Amino acid sequence: MWALVDLAASGDALASLTGTRDNVETLGRATGLSGLVEEGPRKLGEILREPGLVAAMAGAGLGLVWRRRRTLAVIAAAAVALAAFAVVALAGLPVITRYLLLEATLLCVLCGAAVGGWLAVERGSRRWSWLAGGAVVVLLLAAFGPSQLHRLI
């Protein structure tokens, strides 16, 4: 559909792609393999700060132990989204923050699993282990909260 709109509007089905590639040089944006490796993690960190990344890893770990199938589905979706981002960067498009919103969203799902996953676990020691892990994540997020206040104001 994107190509059809470009074709109808400009007579070139790839107008958006080539125009964006041209702007990369003009704006001095990172692209390609070096941009992917050097700028990609930094751009993801602009969306999801350190506590969220740690919490996502905790959620993935807890989920792989006790909710494997669901967690693997989220991890697989994140891997596909990351592969798509890599294709975009390698195609010469800029490595910019908004292209990582899907990956950050999926990592937030894993973060949420770390905090609230204990609700889905049957009663017993597994539930208490997950609850303890979730409490650590909540404390970590709360500890980093004040340092992020300037981003909201």
Task: Tell me the pLDDT of the chain averaged across its residues.
Answer: 83
For residue range 16-59, list pLDDT tens digits in order. 767 677 777 777 777 778 888 888 899 898 888 888 888 899 88
How remote is the C-alpha of 110 from its chain's centroid? 10
Instruction: Answer whether residue 126 shows pLDDT above 80.
Output: no
How is the chain split into domains, by residue range?
Answer: 1-29, 31-152
Token pair listed for 147: 């340092």
Instruction: Answer whether residue 89 shows pLDDT above 70.
Output: yes
Cα dihedral: 117, 123, 126, 128 (round 10): 80
Torsion sign (Cα): 141, 142, 148, 149: positive
Residue 103: its pLDDT value, please? 94
Residue 107: its pLDDT value, please? 94
For residue range 52-71, list pLDDT tens digits in order. 888 899 889 888 887 889 99
Entry pTM: 0.72
Instruction: Answer whether residue 152 shows pLDDT above 80.
Output: no
Torsion sign (Cα): 71, 55, 88, 13: positive
Residue 102: its pLDDT value, please? 93
Share of the chain above pLDDT 90, in %: 20
Q: For residues 68-86, give the mean pLDDT.
A: 94
Q: Any idea what DSSP says for residue 91?
A: T
d(CA 108, CA 47) in angstroms, rounded, equals: 10
Token pair listed for 23: 């702007």
